[in-house]
Amino acid sequence: MILLSILWLQVKAPLLLERLYTHRAPLDTVVISQLSTQVSEKDLYAHLQFLAHDALQGREAGTPFEKVAAAYLIAQHRRIGNEPLLPQSYIHVFWLKKPISLPPPEGKSSRKKKKLSQPPPPSPDSVEAWNVLACRRGSLYPSQYVILSAHYDHIGKSPQGAVFNGADDNGSGTAVLLEVARLISQLPPPKRTIVFFHTGAEEKGLIGAFRFVQDSLIPIDSIVAMVNTDMVGRTDTLHQPGDRYLYTIGADRATPVLRFIQEEVNALCCQWKLDYRYDSPSDPLRLFYRSDHFAFARKGVPSVFYFGGLHSDYHMPSDDWDKIEPERLRRTAVWLAAMAWSLANM
C-alpha cells in the first residue's frame, strides 16, 4: 500500500452496476458454498513464498526483479488457462523516471508472449514498468468487466542493502488474486469478463492503475465494479489473532449497491465482521486514497478496497512470509472469488 495520499477527484459516470442490480439474478449459492472446499492453502503459500523471497529483492517497479515477479504471474495464468486481456500480451507497459530507488520509511507509517508494440521511452532517464493483465472471458457479455486487482510491486532495498520483501504488502493480496483466478478457472465461464489486474508501481504513487485508466485499456462505463485487495495476510494492532474481521473501504462512495452486494455475499460465504471504520471521508489515515482502486473510483466506477490493517512490519524489512496467517489468506481467497462470481453473474 502506498505511503502517501492523493487528492480525491469525484467524476460522475453512468453506473452499469446499478442497472444490472435492478434486474439481477439470485446469488449463486451452490458455487459460493463450494468455494471454501476448493481453495488451496498450499498454492497460496507457494505463491507468497516465491514473491516474498529475498531473491526477488523487494520487487521494486522498474527493476529486473519486477520482471521476474511478472513472469511468474503470467506463467500461473497460462497454467490455469486464463488468456491475456490485451491483444497478444499479458503486459501493459508504462514508464517510470530514474532514479527508481526510494529511501525506506522509518518506523510505522502514518499510513513471454510477444509484447505489444509500444512507444520509445519518453526520455533517456526512463525505465520500463509493467502491469500484468489476465482474464476469464464472459460468455454472454464479454465487453462488460469485473476488475479484481492487487499490486505486486514493493519498495525494493534500502541504501544499506536491507531487502523489503513485502510479504503482506502486497504479496498477500497477489497470492490471493492468483488463487482466485485458479478457483474461477474451475467454474463455467461467467456471464461477464473477470479481469485479474496485477498492478505495477503502486508504491510509486498508484502509477500502474492510473496508467490503465489513462490509456483507456477498456471503457470506463463498461466496468461493473473494481475490487482491490491489499495487505490482507496479517492481523492488525487493533484486533486479536484469529479475529474474523476485514476492513472494507469505499464500497458505497459511487453507489450503495456494491455495499449491499458485499453484505449479501458475506452472509453466504465467509461471515467476516466487515469493519467500516476507515470508510469515512474524514478518516485521518485517508486509506481510501492510498491503493489502486482509487484510480477507478475517481472516475465514478463502483470500487471497494479490502484491507487487513496496519502493523509494526508495514514498509519494514521484517514484513516476511512466515508472519502471514494462513486462515486469513484462505478466507480472503474464498471471499474475493465469491464477490467476483456474484458481480460477474448478476
- Predicted structure pTM score: 0.91
pLDDT, tens only, 194-238: 999 999 999 999 999 999 999 999 999 999 999 999 999 999 999
In tens, the pLDDT along 275-300 reads 999 998 889 999 999 999 999 999 99
| Cis before 170? omega within 30 | yes
Is a pLDDT exceeding 60 seen at residue 119?
no
Maximum distance among all Cα pairs of the chain, rounded to whole angstroms: 58
Q: Where are the domains of the chain?
A: 16-344
Q: Which pLDDT belongs to residue 134?
A: 98
Question: Which residues, at least 6 apart from 232, have a Cβ–Cβ distance to it below 8 Å?
Answer: 168, 172, 173, 176, 246, 306, 307, 308, 328, 329, 332
Q: 170, 120 in Cβ contact below 8 A? A: no
Q: Which cell goes with 111?
A: 499510513
DSSP SS3 for 298: coil
User: Taking residues 78-86, what's their average pLDDT?
Assistant: 98
| pLDDT, mean of residues 324-336 | 97
Condensed to tens digits (0 to 9), the pLDDT of residues 19-73 reads: 999 988 899 999 999 999 999 999 999 999 999 999 999 999 999 999 999 999 9
Share of the chain above pLDDT 70, in %: 90
CATH (residue range 16-344): 3.40.630.10
Stretch (H or E) spanning 258: helix 257-269
